[in-house]
């Protein structure tokens, strides 16, 4: 079976009224279609086109809408999707779900979102991290996804991106940050010459 490398990070979780955990980092090998602890990456469908992946753990989910996705993340993982600045539809919905929850959710911080069509349309995936300092490269473990083999619908199929400030996103044509690259990008509605090219990405500042 083909093996792919995915950068997996576990980090300190912080936020208002949130508990914290130990910091650790590891570059792990994973079977195609899986992440840390053998967790299968959930793939989108026409009925559930809006997806989420926590880079630091490999947890993932898909749903019909951002509101349903926020509730699913809370119900299945006891996580609230938060941002360090600009809010998104998902973070707003997640906050609303958390207010009515009987559990005290942990935080997972938004890095950014990618889409398979131009102008932020089509199947989408929001990437988050449990690290309290998202987009930093402290400890040489950046917030990156080094191979899209486990999220195969994104491989050579991304057309628009929206990193969440202060994050920037960088795409590469090959896995493991190989081949040509976009350099660091902000919100981009059309990747133009890099449309349907990317096979790995990194969020940084």
The packing angle between helices 89-99 and 66-77, to 10°, is 50
Average pLDDT score over residue span 53-58: 92
pLDDT for res 104: 86
If one counts the domains in the chain, the total is 1
Segments forming the whole domain that contains residue 169 = 3-204
21-30, 83-92, 105-114, 186-195, range with the lowest pLDDT:
21-30
Q: Which helix (H) or strand (E) holds 40?
A: none
List, for residues 78-131, the tens digit of each pLDDT value.
Answer: 999 998 778 899 999 999 989 888 878 999 999 999 999 999 999 999 999 988
Neighbours of 46 (CB within 10 A): 7
The whole-angstrom separation of Cα 182 and Cα 193 is 9
Most confident of 6-15, 45-54, 79-88: 45-54
Q: Give the domain CATH number at 126.
A: 2.60.20.10
pLDDT for res 137: 64
Give this prediction's pTM: 0.79
- Contact assessment for residue 145 and residue 204, using Cβ atoms and an 8 Å cutoff: no
Q: Which helix (H) or strand (E) holds 131?
A: none
Q: How confident is the model at residue 1 (pLDDT cuts 50, 70, 90)?
A: very low
- Contact assessment for residue 113 and residue 126, using Cβ atoms and an 8 Å cutoff: yes
Q: How confident is the model at residue 140 (pLDDT cuts 50, 70, 90)?
A: low
Compute the half-sphere exposure of residue 132: CA atoms within 13 Å on the CB side of its CA.
13
* Contact residues for 76 (Cβ-Cβ < 8 A; gap 6+): 61
The whole-angstrom separation of Cα 74 and Cα 80 is 6
pLDDT at residue 155 greater than cutoff 90: yes
pLDDT for res 107: 93
List, for residues 159-176, the tens digit of each pLDDT value.
Answer: 999 999 889 999 999 999
The whole-angstrom separation of Cα 151 and Cα 85 is 27
């Amino acid at each position: 079976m083909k093996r792919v490398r995915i950068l997996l990070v576990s980090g300190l979780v912080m936020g208002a009224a949130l508990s914290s955990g130990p910091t650790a980092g590891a570059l792990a090998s994973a079977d195609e279609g899986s992440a840390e602890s053998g967790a299968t990456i959930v793939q989108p469908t026409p009925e559930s086109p809006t997806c989420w992946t926590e880079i630091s753990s490999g947890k993932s989910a898909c749903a019909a809408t951002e509101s349903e996705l926020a509730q699913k993340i809370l119900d299945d993982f006891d996580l609230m999707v938060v941002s360090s600045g600009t809010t998104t539809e998902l973070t707003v919905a997640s906050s609303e779900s958390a207010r009515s929850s009987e559990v005290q959710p942990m935080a997972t911080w938004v890095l950014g979102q990618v889409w398979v069509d131009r102008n932020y349309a089509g199947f989408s995936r929001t990437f988050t991290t449990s690290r309290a300092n998202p987009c930093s490269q402290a400890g040489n473990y950046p917030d990156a996804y080094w191979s899209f083999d486990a999220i195969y619908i994104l491989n050579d199929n991304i057309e628009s991106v929206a990193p969440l400030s202060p994050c920037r996103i960088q795409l590469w044509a090959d896995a493991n940050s190989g081949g040509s690259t976009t350099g660091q990008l902000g919100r981009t509605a059309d990747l133009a010459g890099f449309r349907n090219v990317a096979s790995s990405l990194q969020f940084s500042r």
